[in-house]
Amino acid sequence: MRKKIIAGNWKMNKTVGDAVALVEGLKMDLAQGTDVEVVVCPPFTALQAVGEKLTNTQIKLGAQNMSSEDDGAYTGEISHTMLKDLFVKYVILGHSERRQYYKETDFWVNKKVKKALEKNLRPIVCVGEKLEDREAGNTEKVVEAQVRGSLADVTAEQFENVVIAYEPVWAIGTGKTATSAQAQEVHAFIRGILRDMTGEKAANGLRIQYGGSMKASNAKDLLSQPDIDGGLIGGAALDARSFIDIVKAGM
């Protein structure tokens, strides 16, 4: 059985004060742990303050990006050492917003994924097609290239620490959720690619989150699909009540 994982991607939102207020709200219901693994991914500037609030809770801390390099002259970048210093456990890599606005390619996502795994950070690797890809019937082709490219050279043992997030770009922040059947179809397809890449056992153990306008009202339906093992939540993670309700839908 795969333990469901619900992660909040706060994106470029929340000052330190706002972030602390949000995490205090989450702790009321989620601090003691649930059947669902809960992760919050604040912006870098709030990682330390949020991390301090999460001490002695079951909620885990994640970052939204990471450099592929160890240290040195890389202005504006954040390294694995800096993240681990703040007790970060997960790191979102290859989010479609990074791919789209900052031109991150599978090559770079793969470098970051390998670095994260080598340094014992768990990557949440994002893949997903654009609307034009779906309309042209290219969803599987695009998603397969991203999965294979982003996870190239990852070993079977390392695969145990990988989480994949399927986020159709047309569903992100648009209010248009993929139907649970549409999402399940792609999730099952991704698991098939993983079987081919790393074998039956690792593929069956690997968690694949859905992301894209997931909210309390559609979470139960999505999370009850056989290959949907959690959610990566944007907008609905910015409010404690709505995020808690999504986590509860996964229990």
First to last CA, the chain: 13
How far is the C-alpha of 131 from the C-alpha of 4, rounded, in Å?
A: 27
From 115-123, 191-199, 211-219, 220-228, give the range in contact with ligand 13P by CB under 6 A: 211-219
The minimum distance between CB 156 and ligand 13P, in angstroms, equals 27
Contacts of 34 (CB under 8 A, 6+ apart): 58, 247, 248, 251
- For ligand 13P, the binding residue among 51, 62, 94, 211 (CB under 6 A) is 211
Which residues are designated catalytic?
95, 167
Smaller CB separation from ligand 13P, 206 or 233: 233
- Give the other-Cβ count within 10 Å of 251's Cβ: 11
**Residues 51, 94, 123, 212: which binds ligand 13P (CB under 6 A)?**
212
Residue 209: CB minimum distance to ligand 13P, A:
9
The dihedral sign for the CA sequence 61, 65, 68, 71: negative
Parallel/antiparallel/unpaired status of strands 163-166 and 207-211: parallel
Per-position x/- string for 148-167, each x denoting binding to ligand 13P as judged by CB under 6 A, each - no binding: -------------------x
Burial per residue of 11-48, b for 16 or more beta-carbon CB atoms within 10 angstroms, e otherwise: bebbeeeebbebbeebbebbbeebebbbbbbbbeebbb
In which element (H, E) is residue 211 found?
strand 207-211
Binding residue (CB under 6 A) for ligand 13P from 173, 196, 199, 241: 173
Binding positions for ligand 13P, 44-103, rule CB under 6 A: 95
106 strand-pairing partners: none
By beta-carbon proximity to ligand 13P, the closer residue of 54 and 178 is 178
Contacting range for ligand 13P; rule: CB under 6 A; set: 22-30, 69-77, 184-192, 207-215? 207-215
Does 109 interact with ligand 13P (rule: CB under 6 A)?
no
Binding-site ranges for ligand 13P (CB under 6 A): 9, 95, 167, 172-173, 211-214, 232-236
